[in-house]
Structure 1
């Protein structure tokens, strides 16, 4: 056979002889020769193909494994519960699990849970797609099962601080029907820190079938209304199908879900006592199982004159922009509504009672058996005023009922509605602490001393366990719906003590002033208040509002706490509408021996209004109130020999670095606080060296401490480790008080963490538009006075480097607490 390759041509190829196999014993055949290069070629080709095949298979296996385990981890994460550790919660947090009811008010010292996404809305979707659980010492309890989370519908959102702080408000709905009085509120602050979760929900989705028609239910409601008022010329204003549960309202132990038709009925005959009620008719039996009173004893004002009433019509007497009529009640009512509108707008940035610039309607010159009186009708949002009742505080009180109209008007939530209306009224009419003094009735209530009786009102309680606190077993019209006008005195007295201070119930309170107190109350009303709030909710949420505005541990919040404890609001059982005294709770002595742990802070500019989206931006023109100047002592039982690093100072060649004052607060685990300061100088590497002298009694040296350090242009830093360190400037966080102090010298090297600039003189504990403006308005200046305020890196000129530093500080923003 000719030796010819089918693939290669070669003249001198080596031969490979293939003969008979020695093992077979066959005779040798004629030798067949194959070129070795052909074999090599085949071997090389198939080796490469085999190698590529193996690589491909391995790659496919690795990719499949990665996708499988990634999917599995995501699936596990999706099904794993959202676990909130009670160690992250404030002592005031509460969780109550009853039959078919979960009630919770959880606020964190910092954050209570890390959302799965940096995008708040995506993180919330993932959060509510899990079972939400609370990890307690010996058990794990489910707060919100996933099944309930799918029943929550967003009804309102508030944003603050350029969309950094978010508040979401949800209502529970079962089969698209609202659960009356249910709610869930979620609170996030800067950088998406999830710090608060409130709610009251039912975990029973069983709903009875409707056995009667809506028309029959409306007839049942009208029949009930006619039993209560004769010749009232009644009218159905609105009706709505709801799920009703008495237990979620805190008005009884019945935890059954009722399918009801809520029918709002009001009287058109204003010559008789005002009448407007909501009747809850059971669609299974036709019985009225609950009734709720709707009467509370851009600017558009419309004043109607009741004397023109004819055929269910009343004529407009004066509209927005119309000239004066010459009638005192019409014109004074018109002017007062304008003053009230501007009060809410200027103080709280609120536009009308609903913050939607709805027209303000009022009917004056009412006379008859309902007078003398004034009331806000939640059914049609009209303010009704009898002759002789046009007074600033009375009209502000009634207007405020339109602001807080979410509150259920029975027992403590109804008493809260009355008290808040009084509080906002004295905020405008602030020449005294009385209500109604300019009306024909004279004084009807005293906020400074609610126990004073008047010709038209009972003595009110000034604390939760007062003998004047009234206990009613039912909430009916004949007992003022659970004595709402009487028991509100407790909250009113607490507000008076917040503003004025004083000695009360073995507590010594320093007043914080009207402006701060109103900001706290209004924030509570618009951010944290829920329809079924009782006095314990007031205590918890007022403190959270104060913490939001003025920082926990500040003088302001300490005295707010004292005022609320002095009136015993903290001793009301959670989720109970009847008073602690009525429930047989044993009174405890108020705990008011608490001390501030932070330097005072000023009231923030701007406010929060309950619109769909609210943005709060402090005006640049408003300078802060300065931190009080302290002289630094040169002696003390404890000496802190500190080494510090301040942001932006890279070297110490500038003579202006010498003699800068640094403040230090040493706060023990039990809350004992000692304040001092010292002069610091910088070495050539930019580290600051100095001593701070503190007088700490020897009996307190056994405790562990945290140190709060604040430089002359810097945000306060909390340090609780002897050798703190961080990977990036500003990322160190104090967890547990660990610093032990001794008499004489304590050498403390904190140079491995950076104290951030941003809070410029005059210091107020926050980096905001004032600090930014102080830099931008002084760019390129080198005079000593300007450098003292706005030269952040101490290089002798105010420039873009200083601007960059103060902008970066906005990511931290506040003094650490």
Structure 2
């Protein structure tokens, strides 16, 4: 079977300050704050709630309109006089309903955990509000008792204890309002740079109470072409020609570029450039092979989001990210950084297995989509949902590409041989098969590394798509159990993806936990297919089957 992308006509044509999203695998970072459950919203007419594709100009216009009316919106939804809204994103449904995502400030200070989504009918009436935190924002004093130097010293100690190497504060601590748990308080946010213990860049955010000096929360900001690729065979790539030189620049997809770090760990690297338009030879000894894999993964991920959800790039603004390959030496990981709007790939153990497979590429770029929408904090249950979102949507990319060299499956990283024995990194039908991931929710699941707490949502998605019990898909055998011994009937992967994406972009917030994810996906299913529909009931059954009730 010819890969879908190989049938594309090749064209030859003459980045943000949001919180970052994560690595494919990583080290656990604990927190001392619990997530809040957002409020539910009222479901609307089935099928009228599918998102419509917005041009960059239309999206910009809607955001400008939302910002110009932000003061009125803040008053209508009951915010206090010291609170202001900053429009971040907007989604428009087929029936004209708008879902506008806002960040919040209080007395001019950023409110961490204060993000919210306002759902507005075509008539202009407010249908509901989904908030990351339910507590009213009111802080008695904005004068800190702890100095910035003391907050920075504490944050550095936290980073070192978590295994960070060569730690240093990226910038002086900034004053914020922390609303992620309990009563909102004045706090400092310190971002620690350097590297984590496995060589991954470090962007550890430490939140310190500005009155008591107590650590309140921490989370990690780095979430872990013709191309003769290593994993996907020969594929068509969109490149750019200037004179007699070709570069791995995709002018058809926002100008995405692919760079060679050549075993370095800093900077952008060197843009892949050559006199011919054939990239790599399928072997790891040719540096351009990994470049071709990365460019192909970026291309397929862009097309998946555009075709499936009408999303125009990672930030839905038509702007391409960039990719860096050959990071470090023997680096067994890949990661997304929202701070540079880029994804980075190591070459694996002994530099033999670059982490540039199709599902890994989709996984990493989906961290960027999460950062641009819900902004799920990379810690505890919200961090598990962040990782699961990348697994879920990365799986969607792999099925969408329909590449005979790498068929779609419900395995994560099956091509890159991280374990050294040919087994995948993660399994969606029964996550515990990897020896560490959770099949079901429990009160302690949030204390797991986010790559393992993600198992609950991965299992939910598999059950919603394919159902429980034994099944074979594209030649791979699965057997998915349930917590309560129930039988779950799947609704198909396409519908499951629509429900998850709608929940992510319209109902999830930065602190969504598993209970709130159930609420959000039920709201999404009700809006898309109707409350009480087969799809709605399947969402409820699949969550119950992984013990989220």
TM normalised by structure 1 equals 0.47
CA distance in 2, matches of 1:563, 1:230: 38
Does residue 153 of structure 1 match 2:108? Answer: no
Secondary structure, aligned partner of 2:431? coil
Question: What is the aligned partner in structure 2 of residue 333 from structure 1?
Answer: 294
Quick one: which of 495, 510, 532 aligns to 1:516?
Answer: 495
Quick one: which of 299, 305, 315 aligns to 2:269?
Answer: 315
CA distance in 1, matches of 2:275, 2:110: 41
CA distance in 2, matches of 1:552, 1:484: 31
Secondary structure, aligned partner of 2:343? strand
Unaligned runs of 5+ in 2: 1-34, 46-64, 225-252, 281-287, 348-352, 400-407, 470-481
Question: What is the aligned partner in structure 2 of residue 381 from structure 1?
Answer: 341
Secondary structure, aligned partner of 2:510? coil
Secondary structure, aligned partner of 2:262? helix
Quick one: which of 110, 117, 124 aligns to 1:178?
Answer: 110
Using a 3 Å threshold, how does the CA distance of structure 1 residues 566 and 429 change in structure 2: closer, same or farther?
same
Quick one: which of 532, 536, 540 aligns to 1:553?
Answer: 532
Using a 3 Å threshold, how does the CA distance of structure 1 residues 123 and 269 change in structure 2: closer, same or farther?
closer
Question: What is the aligned partner in structure 2 of residue 655 from structure 1?
Answer: none
CA distance in 2, matches of 1:426, 1:102: 28
Secondary structure, aligned partner of 1:404? helix
Rg comparison, structure with higher value: 1
Q: CA RMSD in A?
A: 3.7
Using a 3 Å threshold, how does the CA distance of structure 1 residues 511 and 319 change in structure 2: closer, same or farther?
farther
Secondary structure, aligned partner of 1:524? helix
Using a 3 Å threshold, how does the CA distance of structure 1 residues 568 and 320 change in structure 2: closer, same or farther?
farther
Question: What is the aligned partner in structure 2 of residue 267 from structure 1?
Answer: 194
Report the CA distance between 1:363 and its aligned residue: 2.1
Question: What is the aligned partner in structure 2 of residue 209 from structure 1?
Answer: 143
Does residue 448 of structure 1 match 2:399? Answer: no
Question: What is the aligned partner in structure 1 of residue 413 from structure 2?
Answer: 436
Secondary structure, aligned partner of 1:185? strand
Report the CA distance between 1:385 and its aligned residue: 1.0
Using a 3 Å threshold, how does the CA distance of structure 1 residues 386 and 546 change in structure 2: closer, same or farther?
same
Secondary structure, aligned partner of 2:87? strand
Using a 3 Å threshold, how does the CA distance of structure 1 residues 120 and 420 change in structure 2: closer, same or farther?
closer
Cα offsets for 1:307-358 (capped at 9, x unmatched): 2639x54531327999455321122212221121221122122233222233
Quick one: which of 408, 414, 419 aligns to 2:377?
Answer: 408
Q: Given that residues 89 and 101 in structure 2 are in contact (C-alpha distance below 8 angstroms), is that contact kept between their aligned partners in structure 1? A: yes
Report the CA distance between 1:517 and its aligned residue: 1.1
Question: What is the aligned partner in structure 2 of residue 462 from structure 1?
Answer: 439
Q: Given that residues 102 and 202 in structure 1 are in contact (C-alpha distance below 8 angstroms), is that contact kept between their aligned partners in structure 2? A: no
Quick one: which of 234, 246, 254 aligns to 1:299?
Answer: 254
Question: What is the aligned partner in structure 2 of residue 165 from structure 1?
Answer: 97
Using a 3 Å threshold, how does the CA distance of structure 1 residues 561 and 215 change in structure 2: closer, same or farther?
same
Using a 3 Å threshold, how does the CA distance of structure 1 residues 120 and 532 change in structure 2: closer, same or farther?
closer
Report the CA distance between 1:110 and its aligned residue: 6.6
Q: Given that residues 500 and 512 in structure 1 are in contact (C-alpha distance below 8 angstroms), is that contact kept between their aligned partners in structure 2? A: yes
Quick one: which of 185, 189, 192 aligns to 1:257?
Answer: 185
Using a 3 Å threshold, how does the CA distance of structure 1 residues 291 and 230 change in structure 2: closer, same or farther?
closer
Using a 3 Å threshold, how does the CA distance of structure 1 residues 390 and 321 change in structure 2: closer, same or farther?
farther
Using a 3 Å threshold, how does the CA distance of structure 1 residues 240 and 535 change in structure 2: closer, same or farther?
same
Question: What is the aligned partner in structure 2 of residue 195 from structure 1?
Answer: 127
RCO higher in 1 or 2 (8 Å CA, sep ≥ 6)? Answer: 2
TM normalised by structure 2 equals 0.68
Unaligned runs of 5+ in 1: 1-100, 112-118, 131-143, 249-254, 473-481, 571-817
Report the CA distance between 1:228 and its aligned residue: 5.3
Question: What is the aligned partner in structure 2 of residue 805 from structure 1?
Answer: none
Q: Given that residues 275 and 295 in structure 1 are in contact (C-alpha distance below 8 angstroms), is that contact kept between their aligned partners in structure 2? A: yes
Using a 3 Å threshold, how does the CA distance of structure 1 residues 284 and 192 change in structure 2: closer, same or farther?
closer
Q: Given that residues 187 and 207 in structure 2 are in contact (C-alpha distance below 8 angstroms), is that contact kept between their aligned partners in structure 1? A: no
Q: Given that residues 302 and 316 in structure 1 are in contact (C-alpha distance below 8 angstroms), is that contact kept between their aligned partners in structure 2? A: no
CA distance in 2, matches of 1:500, 1:279: 40
Secondary structure, aligned partner of 1:291? strand
Q: Given that residues 270 and 368 in structure 1 are in contact (C-alpha distance below 8 angstroms), is that contact kept between their aligned partners in structure 2? A: no
Cα offsets for 1:466-494 (capped at 9, x unmatched): 9xx6463xxxxxxxxx4211121111111
Question: What is the aligned partner in structure 2 of residue 421 from structure 1?
Answer: 390
Report the CA distance between 1:285 and its aligned residue: 6.0
Secondary structure, aligned partner of 2:363? helix
CA distance in 1, matches of 2:167, 2:44: 56
Using a 3 Å threshold, how does the CA distance of structure 1 residues 361 and 157 change in structure 2: closer, same or farther?
closer
Q: Given that residues 441 and 548 in structure 2 are in contact (C-alpha distance below 8 angstroms), is that contact kept between their aligned partners in structure 1? A: yes
Report the CA distance between 1:545 and its aligned residue: 0.8
Using a 3 Å threshold, how does the CA distance of structure 1 residues 128 and 209 change in structure 2: closer, same or farther?
closer
Report the CA distance between 1:185 and its aligned residue: 2.6
Secondary structure, aligned partner of 1:490? helix
CA distance in 1, matches of 2:207, 2:525: 37
CA distance in 1, matches of 2:441, 2:263: 46
Report the CA distance between 1:423 and its aligned residue: 0.5
Question: What are the residue-to-residue correspondences of 1:66-215 with 2, within 5 Å?
Answer: 105-108=39-42, 129=75, 146=78, 148=80, 151-156=83-88, 158=90, 160-161=92-93, 164-192=96-124, 194-199=126-131, 200-203=133-136, 204-211=138-145, 214=148
CA distance in 1, matches of 2:125, 2:459: 34
Secondary structure, aligned partner of 2:324? strand
Q: Given that residues 276 and 294 in structure 1 are in contact (C-alpha distance below 8 angstroms), is that contact kept between their aligned partners in structure 2? A: yes
Count of residue correspondences: 425
Report the CA distance between 1:215 and its aligned residue: 6.5
Cα offsets for 1:367-410 (capped at 9, x unmatched): 447x2111112333331211121111112111111111211111
Using a 3 Å threshold, how does the CA distance of structure 1 residues 401 and 501 change in structure 2: closer, same or farther?
same
Q: Given that residues 407 and 533 in structure 1 are in contact (C-alpha distance below 8 angstroms), is that contact kept between their aligned partners in structure 2? A: yes
Question: What is the aligned partner in structure 2 of residue 781 from structure 1?
Answer: none
Using a 3 Å threshold, how does the CA distance of structure 1 residues 543 and 269 change in structure 2: closer, same or farther?
closer
Question: What is the aligned partner in structure 2 of residue 390 from structure 1?
Answer: 356
Question: What is the aligned partner in structure 2 of residue 636 from structure 1?
Answer: none
